[in-house]
Chain A
Amino acid sequence: GAVVSQHPSRVICKSGTSVKIECRSLDFQATTMFWYRQFPKQSLMLMATSNEGSKATYEQGVEKDKFLINHASLTLSTLTVTSAHPEDSSFYICSARTSTSGGYYEQYFGPGTRLTVT
């Protein structure tokens, strides 16, 4: 199946700094990428949806100025957590979607990035 990578897998940063997380589709072109966050013992929460070359669509309650998303190419999307605070500590997972020859959409997940803000 298709492979999605994330980098870094783990990051620890100090409060007030910014952190960038990369999401790459390695062997396919992703017209749409999704960013999720997951708190311990909770399900995935969709943060935003980004289409290549256009602005991301953020879910209600997600601060677009704090979580900057860039989807500059069909294989790369980045999430930048600006001025991170301890409450931003979470597991961030990206997902890339592509269409199949049958006209259906398939969605593949990255391995996730564990962010810890001290």
Chain B
Amino acid sequence: GQNIDQPTEMTATEGAIVQINCTYQTSGFNGLFWYQQHAGEAPTFLSYNVLDGLEEKGRFSSFLSRSKGYSYLLLKELQMKDSASYLCAVRDSNYQLIWGAGTKLIIKP
């Protein structure tokens, strides 16, 4: 079956760095996405990786290793507004998005 694993919850301090991991097992691979979702809102796109390596976009970076079925989202200089759920999703061979359960990130002052 298809499976995406990410931690349920993480806590970090304002100004610090946090890494949210995601491992996946899917039928085919056509890219991995990270989304941010604030409570009561729809997910918003953060990053897309299809090749191995690190993609940097401001305070957020995303890494992919296809051979290991592994990705992480790195958030730097954490701000209180970064408190949200972070969803990892993989696009399979049918171009369907397979979603992880999300990681709730709590930022403390």
Contacts and interface: CB of A to CB of B under 8 A. Distances in A.
Contact of A44 (B43, B44, B91): B43
A114 B102 CA distance: 19
Contacts of B97: 34, 46, 95, 107
A5 B35 CA distance: 18
Contacts of B96: 46, 49
Chain B interface helix/strand/loop/mixed: loop
A112 B87 contact: no
Given A43-B87, A44-B87, A46-B96, A110 B102 contact: no
B101 A43 contact: yes
Interface residue tally on A, bucketed by range: 10 to 19
B43 A109 contact: yes
A93 B43 CA distance: 9
Interface residues of B, number: 17
A9 to B, nearest CB: 10
Interface in A20-50: 34, 41-44, 46, 49
Contacts of A111: 41-42
Contacts of A43: 87, 99-102
Contacts of A44: 43, 87, 99
A103 to B, nearest CB: 11
A42 B101 CA distance: 6
A105 B95 contact: yes
Nearest to A42: B101
Interface string A73-109: 0000000000000000001010101000000010101
A7 B36 CA distance: 22
Contacts of A95: 97
Interface of A: 1, 34, 41-44, 46, 49, 91, 93, 95, 97, 105, 107, 109-112, 114
11 contacts: A41-B104, A42-B101, A43-B101, A43-B102, A44-B87, A93-B43, A105-B95, A109-B42, A109-B44, A109-B45, A111-B42
Which 3 A-B pairs have CB atoms at the shortest separation, nearest pair first? A112-B42, A43-B101, A43-B99
